[in-house]
């Protein structure tokens, strides 16, 4: 059982992702913006994966990921980036910064489940 942070401002999307994470046997921590996500990650070093929307208030997913990649303990931290409106060049840049996968919206829950399993192999 691993902790996964779900940072998504859309309540319905966040609820769907949280239910999927929990159904996989993991612990879901959730928040609605990047600023809170950053605080949670810093305060909870046992979080193993971030599932992050790009468009969020206060601190968007793009800036959150750039900040994380600049921190020593988060250079190789696995991230699943989700968005329905992201610019492809920006996403490609984020994918080059460290281990990350991009999934577009509307979210395919089967694909998300497979990607979570890939990024968090059983120990």
- Rounded Cα distance between 120 and 107, Å, is 19
Q: Is the pLDDT of residue 90 over 90?
A: no
With the CA atoms of 44, 50, 76 and 115 taken in that order, what torsion angle do they form, in degrees rounded to the nearest 10? 140
**How confident is the model at residue 94, as a pLDDT?**
79
Q: Hey, what CATH topology would domain 3-119 get?
A: Rossmann fold (3.40.50)
| Spatial CA neighbour of 13 closest among 105, 75, 111 | 105
The residue ranges of every structural domain in the chain are: 3-119
Lowest-confidence segment of 2-6, 13-17, 83-87 by average pLDDT: 83-87
Q: What is the pLDDT of residues 36-88, one digit of tens each?
A: 999 999 999 999 999 999 889 999 998 999 999 999 999 999 999 998 876 67
Cβ proximity of 38 and 68 under 8 Å: yes
- Rounded Cα distance between 53 and 41, Å, is 15
Q: What is the pLDDT of residues 19-33, one digit of tens each?
A: 999 999 999 999 999
């Amino acid at each position: 059982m691993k902790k996964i942070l779900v940072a998504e401002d859309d309540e319905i999307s966040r609820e769907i992702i949280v239910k999927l994470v929990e159904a996989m046997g993991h612990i879901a921590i959730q928040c609605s913006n990047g600023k809170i996500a950053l605080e949670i990650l810093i305060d909870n070093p046992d979080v193993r994966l971030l599932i992050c929307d790009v468009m969020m208030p206060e601190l968007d997913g793009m800036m959150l990921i750039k900040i994380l990649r600049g921190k020593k303990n988060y250079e190789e931290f696995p991230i699943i980036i989700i968005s329905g409106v992201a610019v492809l060049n920006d996403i490609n840049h984020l994918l080059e910064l460290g281990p990350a996968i991009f999934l577009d919206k509307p979210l395919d829950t089967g694909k998300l489940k497979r990607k979570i399993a890939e990024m968090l192999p059983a120990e």
